[in-house]
Amino acid sequence: MTTRSSDPLPLLDAHALAELRDMIGDALTDIGRDFLAGLEGEVSRIAAASSDAAALRRAAHSLKGSAGNMGAVALAAQAADIEALAAQGELAAAAARGPELAATAQATRLALQAHLGLG
Q: What is the CATH number of the domain that holds 31?
A: 1.20.120
10 lies in some domain: no
**Segment 61-81, tens digit of pLDDT:** 999 999 999 999 999 999 999
20 lies in some domain: no
> Residues near 76 by Cβ (< 8 Å), separated by ≥ 6?
63, 64, 65, 67, 68
Contact (Cβ atoms closer than 8 angstroms) between residue 28 and residue 21: yes
- How many domains is the chain partitioned into structurally? 1
Amino acid, single-letter form, for residue 28: L
107 lies in some domain: yes
38 lies in some domain: yes
What pTM was estimated for this model as a whole?
0.92
**Segment 23-63, tens digit of pLDDT:** 999 999 999 999 999 999 999 999 999 999 999 999 999 99
Whole domain around residue 107: which residue ranges? Answer: 25-116
Amino acid, single-letter form, for residue 70: M
101 lies in some domain: yes
With bands split at pLDDT 50, 70 and 90, how would you rate the model's confidence at 84?
very high
Query: Which of these, 84, 63, 85, lies nearest to 74 by C-alpha position?
Result: 63
**Segment 94-106, tens digit of pLDDT:** 999 999 999 999 9
97 lies in some domain: yes
Return the pLDDT at 119.
73
Segments of 44-87 assigned E as strands: none
67 lies in some domain: yes
Give, as one character, the DSSP assignment of residue 10: P
- What whole-number distance in Å separates Cα of residue 16 and Cα of residue 32? 13
Query: Which of these, 106, 9, 91, lies nearest to 83 by C-alpha position?
Result: 91
18 lies in some domain: no
What whole-number percentage of the chain has pLDDT above 90? Answer: 92
